[in-house]
Structure 1
Amino acid sequence: MRRIRLTGNCSVQTSECDPAIQLAVADLIRDLKKVLGGNPTQVKSGTATIRIGMALGLDSEAWRIRITDRVEIQGGGRLGLIFGIYAFTHRFLGVDPMWFWKGIEPKFKGELELSKCQIDSKPRAFKYRGWFINDEDLLGRWKDSGKQRFSRWPRRRSTEANPDYDFYEKRLLRYYSSIVDANVMSAVFEALLRMECNLVIPASFIDIMNPDEASIVEAAVVRGLYVSQHHVEPLGVSHFGFETWAQELDTSPSFSYRQFPDAMRQCWADYAKRWWEIAGEQIIWQVGLRGRGDRPLWDHDPEAKMRAGEFISGALSDQLEIIHSVESRGQPPATLTLWLEGADLIESGNLSVPDNVTLVFADDDLSQQMRSDFHLLNRSPGQTHGVYYHLAVWSFGAHLVQGASPDKIAKTMSEVLNKGDREYAILNVANVREHVLGISAWSELVSKSEPFNPDDFIHSWVPEGTAELYRSFFAAFPQLRHEWSLHDGCARTFISSLLKYYVDLEALPEIVRMYVVDQNERLRLLLSRAIKAFDGLIERASSLDLEPEDTHDFFQSNFVLQVKILRGLYGVLLELLPSDPDFEQAEEMMVAILEALPLGESGKWSQWYRGDTKVDLKYLQKRLVQAKTTCVVG
């Protein structure tokens, strides 16, 4: 059989000048140098070991790798060629698509012998598929970009001065003010493309009028990705953006479509024009109407509730008209995410959506299973549908600790595929790093129309000899009710509510009271069982001697530390349960979590947890000290 030998002196040739393709070629050369050493080079013409170019007859996102007396990587279009480049690095060089976020470098080989073959990509399971960088508190502060959002928001100073630490908009400023460093976002975009995804919502809030935030969108577009917007930002407008835009008007309209529809339309139009200027045909519009932050429109405007369906329908009509006025495509892609109240309004028949808008069904924020609207809504033949899935979700889901197992992800996505809802798939990935296992499983499911076996996947993906530990970890989550697991966000919410109850004498929220009071003994039993299981996993993990060093470090951060965080939060919650809380023991357990964090901050990950403002472990420890010194129970 004919073979070709690749060495560190190989060359790469392409006539494609597209910046997105050139960036992928640069990544290929970097990968070749890691695996082969030497000095791989890019040449403009002549004989080369690896030739990269377009091929007729392939779909725009399809690729082909042919190995004869040279390596040929072909694509049907820009994205197809980019995907083909990364497919080669993965299949033949052994570069993990998530190498950066796992911290695992490819093995050095010096040279490779490749046999003659041809590999063609498989059809895509979804047309548009990608990640939503949401709740990104760690990403925003890991590497200091020196750039801030909300800096011109007129209510910033008064909000920051609010003495209530948990005031909603004050929390949003705490979570999202830091703009993620450009190099960090570049690593996100590279991983997306390596997983053969084509879409990104690049932040929880993006004000396109702020050049520092617009640069994130520009960078995604340069990489060849489609871009879209958070479902709280129709046409890119959040309440922060609207109020920043409106402060320059004499009338100072409030953020209310009910009261100031003309101002809202003008703001949408100004933002849509700017998004189109930056992203052009790579934009997938988000339409809809929500309130301040990620809340219903009537949360700050109660009079809007009775006519919510009418107002949202009107906003959709206005937004579609604006889209057609600013861009040139005959049928611009636009999505409406049916999150919480949107799903309820559709299900009750109080909201009608034009056929040229893709309806995006969301999973339930507690169970990560599809909501009833997904199962019950009749699909219109003229309308496309998609899915919004959460690996992480605040405030009752996973955040610092991975949540949904590959089995659960595969089951839910199979339901979506079987419904034929294949236009659009977006995944909430939070800070990325904690959720690399779930991200990889989900991305494989949406990018390839191939059978997916969760057991085979997890066995091949995790470090050798650890698959059973991961399976046992996912199986140990306490189930508060059917398919609702007690993730770290939920444990944090329960802990915070109990501390407010003891220290500030606030009433417990009903959903918290249901478990910590009404089902007190059951919750104690669930927590005790999980703690015992996690202690056993930590002991088993301590006996492993994983090599090389980067694999060991990955396992420590992705498994051992996450088990310790969740075990610690369960322990704190158990010690705080009524009616005999032990604040001193709870505080010691919180300190143990903080002392374990360096397991996830070795090497390049130094200061990874300094941005922890959602679970907010240091603040919880401070509150526990306060409870220990001020509360008298009995």
Structure 2
Amino acid sequence: MMEANTSKMMQLDGSVYVHISESPTSPVRHAVRMLTRDLQAVLGHESQVCEEAANADIIIRYALAEDSCAEQEESFVIRFDKENGRDRLIVAARDELGLVYGILYVSETYLGIQPFWFWADQAIGQKEIIAIPCENYDSPARKVRFRGWFVNDEVCLIGWKQPYPPSREVWLPVFEALLRCGGNMVIPGTDLPKNGIHFELASEMGLWITHHHAEPLGAEMFLRAYTGRAASYKDEPELFERLWEKAIEKQKHQRVLWVLSFRGQGDKPFWENDPTFDTPEKRGAMISKVIRRQYDMIAEKVENPVYCAALYGEISELYKGGYIDLPDDVIKVWADNGYGKMVSRRHGNLNLRMPALPGADDQGKHGVYYHVTFHDLQASNHLTMFQGSAAFICDELGQAFESGATEYLLVNSGNIRPHVYQLDLVRELWNQGWINPELHLQQFVSSYYGSGQEEIAELYRTYAEASISYGSHSDDLAGEEFYHHPARRIIGHWLQGKCGEPDTGLIWAAGDVPFAEQIRWFGQRCGQGQEAWSSWLERCEDVMNQAAAEYQQRIVDQLKFHGVLHQSGAEGFMWLCRSYEAYSSGQYPQAFVYASQSMWCYQRGLEAMRDSEHGKWERFYSADWLTNIASTVNNVDTLRRFLRMHGDSPDFFLWYKEYLMPETEKYIYLENTHRNPLSDDELAWRLRDYFRTMEQ
């Protein structure tokens, strides 16, 4: 005979027994695995799944009438009762994802395991007893129906462990963190081999699968399947539809949000390879035709399908112009510009900034694709935290929700580890709809740090203030790629002998001005930026030095690491710009020194990455192929070798003789005993000191 639990507290200690009332599905088994692991981590004893409910401390089951669980999908309740004098905690839910969320609620609320415990290196303290208040809990309705991550630009996850494509070991903590955040959908990676575990494991853990807008329906890319054929739906509709048919057959029994889309190969407008589509009318008509055909093909095979269409880039502009017709039940997904602003993204030097939200008269269901990390070969953040403020993110997503875009929120999560703070912020937004960013910051910091919380919170607050502003808009803030892709463009333009003309790839930032003016613009911005980031890093060092030893490495990984990449990048780019100015005025030794100083700064960024690869994070940044700090170092090294040829060649002893050799030796030394030239680093160090002395 069960009885209500009138106790104020329930205690868990020793080995905890968990009972699942029905044969558990795969997602529930995964969640129970997480719970028993967490119980062991906290209590220090192995917990077990038991067959008899009478022996259980925690019972997991589908909701009964007396549970009064809400009717909506994914709802769960926490209830308490007694069986033969034994206190029991009950997790009851409407469906399997509700059970998963209820189980993970127990882990977070009563055991203290935070959503990003793995990625933020939460220190999990052991206890002899876990005291649980016997207070019923009913899960609230979530603001957004479909909530998830696009694990995009995920190269660090690819390079972290040896197998390729990434194994279960890599994906398990990704999908676990997403479920702990209340997420229910995922695009697991970008253009990974179809034989990888990522789709299978995501589905196994209960997540809805959705697709990259460049891979509609999750189908294989045309040119991979049909190498050498023209990727034209106009000319080869049967071949495209064969790929779509195969993708539908493979996924028709899974939970799938079917992405309807039509872009060109390589994630670009299809008309770049077919100039006959030379008007918005023609382009919109083709996209509408393809989407309708995809829609019909899915409807023939799938019961009650869920469709969405990504209004991304040029498709958003065509839709806004009235050139694209979509079926009424398709979720229209609007995208930010990669920098968190709900406007169309920049294409090279073209930045229309068209509003990317539904109008008041735009009926149907709407959603959002949002970036907290981005890769665009210009000024995006890939290895570092999003450069905008938490209030900015809250405002942008709040406006999206107010416009009716609450059916779907897909967040570009990148490599997870560098973006934990902003992902946690969005977690609260997709669950609640509105939050106080300051209160969230306090809660976030207190979840991972036991002391120095106000000082650490201040570092998060001021992070956005240190960011370089490169334009007139609030979202024109530089991520770490700003210091690398433009810098490498400048070096390439310079060494190719094109200094007499502007670099067209830099107009988006510096304007259509002479090359020297473009360099001067970047030099000024980076000079200001390195000062701001140096000040921020000084505060970070103070906080770290005063923190308890157990938190110091976490401060380095989650805060200082980001500041070092910014400061070293900004200073490295500043010295690069000064090197060009010295070169232009014929000061070749000085240009060589400045290029060397630039390289040394960029090397500090590499060293910060290596220092962050400790313990389980060994090799984590080994596949930094997008920002690619190592490539920047190599580019600057090539530049300084080029500069040394301007006056120190062919013997590479002339600058030493002119500037460094003692005057008493210059005219009497014997060449056959002075022929070993200094290395580039040694020469640069000594010339730097010499020029500094001469300036004093």
For normalisation by structure 2, the TM-score amounts to 0.80
Q: Which amino acid aligns with 2:604?
A: A
Distance 1:349 1:505, change over 3 A: farther
Q: CA deviation at 1:448?
A: 2.7
Structure 2 CA distance for aligned equivalents of residues 527 and 633 of structure 1 = 27
1:347/1:377 contact within 8 Å kept: no
Please tell me whether residue 11 in structure 1 is matched to residue 17 in structure 2: yes
1:28-67 map, 5 Å: 28-45=35-52, 46-56=54-64, 57-58=69-70, 59-67=72-80
1:336 corresponds in structure 2 to 309
2:150 paired with 1:132:
yes
Task: Please state if 1:625 is matched with 2:637.
Answer: yes
What amino acid sits opposite 1:255 in the alignment?
A
**Alignment partner, residue 461 of structure 1:** 444
Match of 1:334, as an amino acid? Y
1:156 is aligned to none
Cα distance between partner residues in 2 of 1:39 and 1:137: 36
Tell me if the contact between 1:104 and 1:550 (Cα under 8 Å) persists in the aligned partners. no
Q: Distance in 2 between matches of 1:505 and 1:596?
A: 34
Say which SS state the counterpart of residue 581 (structure 2) adopts: coil
Per-residue deviation, 1:531: 1.6
Uncovered stretches (5+) of structure 2, i.e. residues with no partner: 1-6, 82-86, 345-353, 583-590, 648-696
Query: 1:172 — aligned with what?
Result: none
For the Cα contact (< 8 Å) 2:30–2:205, is it kept in 1? yes
Structure 1 266/305 Cα, relative in aligned 2: closer, same or farther at 3 Å?
A: farther
Distance 1:359 1:390 in 2: 17
Q: Where does the alignment leave 5 or more consecutive residues of structure 1 unmatched?
A: 148-178
Q: What is the CA–CA distance in structure 2 between the aligned matches of 1:353 and 1:38, rounded to whole Å?
A: 56
Q: Which amino acid counterpart does residue 21 of structure 2 have in structure 1? A: S
Paired residue type of 2:321: S
Report matched runs for 1:91-490 at 5 Å.
91-145=109-163, 147=164, 179-206=165-192, 210=194, 212-213=195-196, 215-237=197-219, 241-246=221-226, 253-276=229-252, 280-306=253-279, 307-329=282-304, 332-366=305-339, 368-371=341-344, 372-375=354-357, 377-381=359-363, 383-395=364-376, 396-403=379-386, 404-449=388-433, 451-462=434-445, 463=449, 464=453, 465-481=455-471, 482=473, 483-490=475-482
Give the whole-Å Cα distance in 1 for the aligned partners of 2:192 and 2:330. Answer: 22
C-alpha distance in 1 between matches for 2:263 and 2:478: 28
Amino acid aligned to 2:571: G
- Retained in 2: the 8 A contact 1:64–1:118? yes
Q: 1:513 to 1:115 in 2, by over 3 A?
A: closer
SS at match of 1:377: coil
Inter-partner Cα distance in structure 1 for 2:485 and 2:11 = 57
Q: C-alpha offsets along residues 98-155 of structure 1, whole Å, 9 cap, x if unaligned?
A: 111112132211212222211221111111010000011111010112x3xxxxxxxx
**Aligned equivalents of 2:299 and 2:33: distance in 1?**
37
Structure 1 letter corresponding to 2:625: T
Rate the CA distance shift 1:546–1:234 in 2: closer, same or farther, 3 A.
farther
Whether the aligned pair in 1 keeps the contact of 2:334 and 2:357 (CA below 8 Å) is: no
Shift of 1:568: 1.1
**Which structure is higher in RCO with an 8 Å CA cutoff and minimum separation 6?**
1
* Deviation digits for residues 476-528 of structure 1 (CA, Å, limit 9, x no counterpart): 11111212101112332211211211223465112244298556666544433
Amino acid paired to 1:33? Q
**Which residue number corresponds to residue 659 of structure 2?**
none
Shift of 1:66: 2.4
How many Å separate the matches in 2 of 1:94 and 1:454?
A: 22
**RMSD of equivalent CA atoms:** 2.2
CA distance in 2, matches of 1:502, 1:523: 15
Number of paired residues? 585
Displacement of 1:206 in angstroms is: 4.4
> Structure 1 518/123 Cα, relative in aligned 2: closer, same or farther at 3 Å?
farther
Decide whether aligned partners of structure 1 residues 558 and 112 sit closer, same or farther in structure 2, where only a CA change above 3 A counts.
Answer: same
Bigger radius of gyration among the two: 2
Cα distance in 2 for residues equivalent to 1:304 and 1:245: 24
Residue 28 of structure 2 aligns with which residue?
21
Partner of 2:493: 501
Of 83, 89, 93, 1:75 maps to: 93
Do the aligned residues in 2 keep the contact of 1:11 with 1:50 (CA within 8 Å)? yes
Does the Cα contact within 8 Å between 1:497 and 1:512 map onto a contact in 2? no
User: Are positions 1:565 and 2:575 aligned together?
Assistant: no
Contact 2:565/2:605 (<8 A) preserved: yes
**Residue type at the aligned position of 1:560:** K
- Write out per-residue CA displacement over residues 220-262 of structure 1, whole angstroms, 9 at most, x where no aligned residue: 1110000011010011135xx3233235xxxx63211122122
Aligned runs of 1:486-565 on 2, under 5 Å? 486-505=478-497, 508=503, 509=505, 510-514=507-511, 518=517, 523-543=522-542, 544-545=544-545, 551-565=551-565
